[in-house]
Structure 1
């Protein structure tokens, strides 16, 4: 736990991590806010589903766009500008312009986590990065869990109408916190768009993230359908807790040199678990094991990304990873709806292919650390 002590002793790192937590709350809050708001206004379940889908697409577009811009524009300027758009989105939703409001709400969520991830890659010593990335993952998951609880509490109190403004306000607070901690400008490094092994390596990591997202999407549909509400809730809660526990325990002990071992092991473990789910494994034990495997895979992916991507490009590539997880989850949910008897098998196959590609990537002799120094980052 000394790693975490060293990380939290830095005020800048601590503020960045708090920003990651606060920034994740609107991500968890907005979808349920939009759905409950539509139902409260007299819309049907189909109406709510369309709005949720529009929001999801907007979120994917927004995070990729901001990630790309972070290599050219200071985070302290860019993220507050996008966060202000969230206030506009809240006004549109309150005024009945719901499709535009839902799309803009997704676009406007400030890409705090990619910005924090990029800063940690350049400001934290290599030996402490596993712990730093683990903390980002834990705090992000915590924020994602808190968001729906806030929206549900507001709805229960008859205050769902103010939920969009609160969600948008959370984005503003997170962007403000990051503006305090993240003042440096990341410059576009020479060779950042060069085609070669580094580019292919990043693409494999991004594709593996999409495969993991597809699996989660199948779970989000099939676990509630095939079990009781109480069991489904317990399964998802245990999955989140297991992922958090795994990230904390592994982050304090892992070393960057073991990135590909963790990545391949985590991806392979996830593939095996989806095979077992296809064969009838109960959701609760599967959720615990899947949470642990996801923690291993996520941390390995974060560390491996540092070996393929220059520091100034990490926010952009990480943002694409996040978008692929979102879109992969949407594809997994759709597949589970139309092919419920084969969705887990498809998830297992995608993860197995991703694991094989990662194993081949790990054996390539061209792996090398991403460049650092004054050409990569100007402080």
Structure 2
């Protein structure tokens, strides 16, 4: 790979968010997928609220079933999308997920319903990123729109629980669950009826059961992102314990919200800046920031300092995810971009689930920096060559129509 010259970097204008949003169909795709992915933030709380009639243990088990099934189903549906196209797979999966949510309301079928709803949740985060690439005129635009999407995604985890709680308070937990299903279905239909999604066609590829997992570099990246996901899952139980220790129960909700707010701010700032150098180098730096960013929270002595400290790792979270998605997209085997992105989401989900479970231990607070540090170690020992030298900026290139 030839290096990008200094003169080319100097001549390149920074791509703005406005320029990206003016690209045809981008604004609709961002809005539609935000609606379709809102259940990711609503469903866990809505399921817990419905399951509380059976006790906290039952409620937690139902939510865990949903999350684990989601991690398992995403790559399967991603592979189907890469083989059959988006329209049929996303529409059918959305209908099945809706039926699964309804089944949770039937007492004897709650576990089955949670498994169905989780497994069939449309992988909109993965499919959207496969739509962005052919729409963008060059790699600069692609990286900015991915940074914008990573920031916007954090709004889901702020607005989702608030929406579920508001509907449950105004009506009932059952209504909140049905609203979750309806919003997911509407958002998915908005995506599949968009021109880019309807025009998207699978790329012919050789049969391979391992798919993206055959790539050593991607396997290492997935393992690293699973480690990076541990603090994302651990923050909720850690926040509960910290709230008890500091006699501030409100921290249970405030700390995860502060993390998401920090991610929104960090992602927007990161996407607005002109980036140079290899993507892999940015990923290493962001992983180091993700690990070190938790240290102020561990030293917090009061509720206010704890909330402020949680903004620090949040500022690295969305940029970290953006860089990981960029590397995944450019490392994916031909015709397997959706599956590769879905596997990245699954790795993060598995890490989140592990972090949530392990954070209940007495030393659960240590998981926050340790998860990021483990991810950094895996990446430092990662692949060399084209994957490490993939630059952020590249000349505009002709892309095939979607």
Question: TM-score, normalising length from structure 1?
Answer: 0.88
Shift of 1:349: 3.6
Q: In the alignment, is residue 56 of structure 1 matched against residue 67 of structure 2?
A: yes
Shift of 1:43: 1.5
Which of residues 213, 238, 259 is equivalent to 1:222? 238
- Residue in structure 1 matched with residue 362 of structure 2 by the alignment: 340
Which of residues 83, 86, 94 is equivalent to 1:75? 86
Give the aligned length.
371
- Taking a change above 3 Å as real, the CA distance of residues 174 and 257 of structure 1, as seen in their structure-2 partners, is farther
- Residue in structure 2 matched with residue 25 of structure 1 by the alignment: 38
- Taking a change above 3 Å as real, the CA distance of residues 194 and 32 of structure 1, as seen in their structure-2 partners, is closer
CA distance in 2, matches of 1:349, 1:89: 36
- Residue in structure 2 matched with residue 119 of structure 1 by the alignment: 131
Q: Which moved more, 1:18-27 or 1:247-256?
A: 247-256
- Residue in structure 2 matched with residue 45 of structure 1 by the alignment: 56
Shift of 1:366: 3.9
Contact 1:25 1:145 (8 Å CA) reproduced = no
Q: Which moved more, 1:268-277 or 1:325-334?
A: 268-277
Q: Which moved more, 1:309-318 or 1:245-254?
A: 309-318
Shift of 1:280: 5.7
- Residue in structure 2 matched with residue 142 of structure 1 by the alignment: 155
Question: TM-score, normalising length from structure 2?
Answer: 0.84
1:99-134 CA distances to partner (integer Å, 9 max, x unpaired)? 111111112221111100111133212011121101
Shift of 1:17: 0.9
CA distance in 1, matches of 2:74, 2:150: 17
Shift of 1:72: 0.6
Shift of 1:193: 7.5
CA RMSD across the alignment: 2.8
1:274-305 CA distances to partner (integer Å, 9 max, x unpaired)? 45555667532331110112123122212222
Q: Which moved more, 1:97-106 or 1:141-150?
A: 141-150
SS in 1 for 2:202: coil
Q: In the alignment, is residue 84 of structure 1 matched against residue 95 of structure 2?
A: yes
CA distance in 1, matches of 2:300, 2:163: 34
Which of residues 318, 325, 332 is equivalent to 1:302? 325
Flag structure 2 segments of 5+ consecutive residues without an equivalent.
Answer: 1-13, 392-396
Shift of 1:66: 1.2
Which of residues 227, 237, 240 is equivalent to 2:257? 237
CA distance in 2, matches of 1:103, 1:58: 5
Contact 1:274 1:344 (8 Å CA) reproduced = no
Q: Which moved more, 1:346-355 or 1:151-160?
A: 346-355
CA distance in 2, matches of 1:191, 1:4: 39
SS in 1 for 2:83: coil
CA distance in 2, matches of 1:196, 1:87: 29
CA distance in 2, matches of 1:43, 1:194: 40
1:47-100 CA distances to partner (integer Å, 9 max, x unpaired)? 111111111112112212111212111111110100101231133123322111
Contact 2:33 2:188 (8 Å CA) reproduced = no
Alignment of 1:197-216 (within 5 A): 199-216=215-232
- Taking a change above 3 Å as real, the CA distance of residues 233 and 35 of structure 1, as seen in their structure-2 partners, is closer
Shift of 1:332: 1.1
1:11-42 CA distances to partner (integer Å, 9 max, x unpaired)? 32222111221122111111111111122xx3
Alignment of 1:172-183 (within 5 A): 172-181=185-194, 182-183=197-198
CA distance in 2, matches of 1:195, 1:68: 9
- Residue in structure 2 matched with residue 327 of structure 1 by the alignment: 350
